Amino acid sequence: MSEPTNDIVTRLREGFERIALVLRADLWAAAGEAGLNPTQAQVLGFLAARPPGVRPKDIAAHLGVSAASVTDTLNALDRKGLVLRQADPADARSVALRPTAEGLRINQAIATAASQVAAALAQLSPAEQANLLLAQVKLVRSLQLADAIPVQRLCVTCRHFRPNAHPGSAHPHHCAFVNAAIGTEDLRLDCGEHEPADPATQSANWAAFEQGRPPLQAPPAS
HSE value, Cβ hemisphere, 13 Å, CA-based, for 186: 13
Tell me the CA distances in angstroms from 207 to 85, 150, 163, 222, one per residue in order.
42, 21, 9, 21
State the amino acid at position 170 in one-letter form.
A
Residue 85 vs residues 35, 53, 66, 137, 157: alpha-carbon distances, Å = 21, 9, 19, 33, 31
- Taking CA atoms, 45 is separated from 39, 127, 129, in Å, by 10, 28, 23
Cα–Cα distance, 72 to 56 (Å, whole number)? 11
> What pLDDT sits at residue 95?
87
Helix (H) or strand (E) holding 43: helix 38-48
**Do 62 and 150 contact (CB within 8 A), yes or no?**
yes
Which DSSP string do the residues of 101-169 spell out, in sequence order? HHHHHHHHHHHTS--HHHHHHHTS-HHHHHHHHHHHHHHHHHHHHTTSS-----GGGBTTEETTSSTTS
Using alpha carbons, select from 83, 93, 95, 92 the residue that is nearest to residue 53. 95
- pLDDT tens, the chain, 222 aa long: 455 556 999 999 999 999 999 999 999 999 999 999 999 999 999 999 998 888 998 899 888 888 899 999 999 999 999 999 988 777 767 788 999 999 999 999 999 998 999 999 999 999 999 999 999 999 999 999 999 988 889 999 999 999 999 998 999 999 999 999 999 999 999 998 899 999 999 999 999 999 888 776 544 444
Q: What is the pLDDT of residue 64?
A: 84
pLDDT, residue 216, reads: 61
Domains of the chain (ranges; CATH) run 8-116 (1.10.10.10), 124-211 (no CATH)
Cα separation, 164 vs 117, in Å, equals 31
Distance separating the N- and C-terminal Cα atoms of the chain:
61
Q: How far apart are CA 119 and CA 169, in angstroms?
A: 30
CB 103 within 8 Å of CB 41: no
pLDDT at residue 222 in the model = 47
Whole-number CA gyration radius for the chain = 20
pLDDT at position 220 is 46
Residue 13 is which amino acid? Answer: R
